[in-house]
């Protein structure tokens, strides 16, 4: 197994943010919402917190699937939020999606506590992964549904290169570079299980969901 190589937390470069916002993430992001629906069947109502929302593509897809919810997205990078303006413009669910600037662990969702918390591709950016799990415990209501998806770190540099070739061959240089760095920065399912145990979330389930992704799902404890 190759060692983890962290990358910068915030995606601050405008060129990087633009390339990310313009990329076609329809398959993994719709897959995110499908996998949420499988883990938590039924309606979603009220405010939802999307941690590390970036340009808001997942926030919008989630709001479109669940018409009775509103999504509060939180991200520390102005460039990513600005790059999302084009995605928001004219989107039928945009009126129920509110993206705001905020950096973990200092900032929190504006309507905490939330009954639903989602996060896609934030975990591998964090130098200290406990930041995500502590924010979820802090900002989640008792019994909250929590759903996180992230990349998994491959076993070898060759496996990293193979995934970059398969999924980013035609992508702009900046996106290909970011994907490679992200695979090196990602955690393994076993590392995430250890993080969850340390955060008091050992009841959460970690599932390998594709050749490069894992999902983490569970409910916060009900209050006693």
Ligand X SMILES: C[S@@+](CC[C@H](N)C(=O)[O-])C[C@H]1O[C@@H](n2cnc3c(N)ncnc32)[C@H](O)[C@@H]1O
Considering the rule CB under 6 A, would residue 122 count as an interface residue with ligand X? yes
Q: How far is the CB of 125 from ligand X (least distance, A)?
A: 4
Whole-number Å distance between alpha carbons of 4 and 152: 11
Token representation of residue 80: 């990513």
Whole-number Å distance between alpha carbons of 52 and 25: 16
**Which C-beta is closer to ligand X: that of 100 or that of 224?**
100
Q: How far is the CB of 152 from ligand X (least distance, A)?
A: 14
In angstroms, what CA-CA distances link 81 with 50, 110, 164, 170?
Answer: 13, 16, 25, 25
Stretch that binds ligand X, among 8-16, 165-173, 196-204, 215-223 (CB under 6 A): 8-16
Q: How far is the CB of 15 from ligand X (least distance, A)?
A: 14
Return phi, psi of residue 117, to 5°: -130, 130
Question: Which one among 66, 83, 109, 120 touches ligand X, defined by CB under 6 A?
Answer: 120
**Which C-beta is closer to ligand X: that of 22 or that of 142?**
22
Q: How far is the CB of 223 from ligand X (least distance, A)?
A: 27
Whole-number Å distance between alpha carbons of 72 and 63: 10
How far is Cα of residue 153 from the mean position of the Cα atoms in its chain? 16
Q: How far is the CB of 56 from ligand X (least distance, A)?
A: 8
Considering the rule CB under 6 A, would residue 49 count as an interface residue with ligand X? no
Considering the rule CB under 6 A, would residue 117 count as an interface residue with ligand X? no
One character per residue 59-98, x = contact with ligand X (rule: CB under 6 A): ----------------xxx--x------------------
Question: Which one among 104, 160, 183, 216 touches ligand X, defined by CB under 6 A?
Answer: 104
Q: Find the binding residues for ligand X in span 124-143 (CB under 6 A).
A: 125-126
Return phi, psi of residue 162, to 5°: -65, -40
Pairing of strands 97-101, 205-208: unpaired
**Which C-beta is closer to ligand X: that of 10 or that of 163?**
10
Where do contacts with ligand X occur on this chain (CB under 6 A)?
Answer: 9-11, 52-54, 57-58, 75-77, 80, 103-104, 120-122, 125-126
């Amino acid at each position: 197994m190759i060692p983890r190589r962290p990358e910068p937390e915030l995606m601050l470069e405008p060129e990087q943010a633009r390339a990310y916002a313009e990329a076609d993430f329809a398959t993994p992001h719709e897959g995110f919402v499908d996998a949420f629906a499988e883990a938590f069947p039924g309606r979603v109502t009220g405010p939802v917190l999307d941690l590390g929302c970036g340009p808001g593509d997942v926030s919008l897809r989630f709001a479109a699937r669940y018409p009775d919810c509103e999504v509060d997205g939180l991200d520390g990078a102005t460039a990513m939020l600005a790059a999302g303006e084009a995605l928001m413009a004219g989107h039928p669910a945009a009126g129920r999606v509110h993206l705001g600037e905020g950096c973990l662990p200092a900032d929190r969702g504006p309507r905490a506590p939330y009954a639903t918390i989602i996060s896609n591709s934030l975990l591998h950016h964090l130098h200290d992964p406990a930041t995500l799990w502590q924010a979820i415990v802090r900002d989640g209501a008792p019994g909250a549904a929590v759903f996180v998806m992230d990349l998994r770190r491959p076993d070898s540099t060759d496996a990293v290169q193979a995934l970059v070739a398969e999924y980013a061959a035609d992508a702009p240089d900046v996106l290909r570079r970011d994907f490679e760095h992200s695979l090196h920065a990602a955690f393994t399912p076993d590392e995430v299980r250890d993080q969850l145990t340390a955060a008091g979330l050992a009841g959460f389930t970690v599932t390998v969901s594709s050749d490069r992704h894992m999902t983490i799902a569970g409910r916060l404890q009900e209050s006693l």
